[in-house]
Amino acid sequence: MRDDEILTGSPMEDSWVTLEQLAAACSVEPAWLQRHIDDGLIPQAESVAGVWCFSSISIVRARRMSQLERDFDAVPELAALVADLLEELDELRARVGSADPG
């Protein structure tokens, strides 16, 4: 798979991945991910018994942020803001889709 390919699929509910698994899924170093967690840019992260766990929402957010930083040379805070806006857009589209009768 090429670095510029985007993986698609449906989020897995109630599934969790570790920091190392998320870093691998996003093609980033665990240190990159840890810095973003420490800065509060990945709010969906949870620490369970000292081990970071991430939901499918975190996977999508981290991938978006890493792509924005890489492709547009965006600073982490800007990438997080754009990720916030894209998450809101996804939510609005889902609402419209569920309200659309036909």
pLDDT higher than 90, residue 101: no
| 4 within a domain of the structure (yes/no) | no
> What would the mean pLDDT of 12-24 be, rounded to a whole number?
82
| 5 within a domain of the structure (yes/no) | no
Q: Which domain holds residue 42?
A: 17-97
Phi-psi region of 9 (alpha: psi -120 to 50; beta: other; left: phi over 0): left
Biggest distance spanned by C-alpha atoms of the chain: 47
> What would the mean pLDDT of 95-99 be, rounded to a whole number?
88
Q: What's the sign of the alpha-carbon dihedral 10, 69, 6, 100?
A: positive
> What would the mean pLDDT of 42-68 be, rounded to a whole number?
90
| 77 within a domain of the structure (yes/no) | yes
Phi-psi region of 6 (alpha: psi -120 to 50; beta: other; left: phi over 0): beta
| 44 within a domain of the structure (yes/no) | yes
Q: What's the confidence (pLDDT) of residue 93?
A: 94
CATH of the domain at 64: 1.10.1660
Tokens of 35: 């810095």
Number of domains in the chain: 1
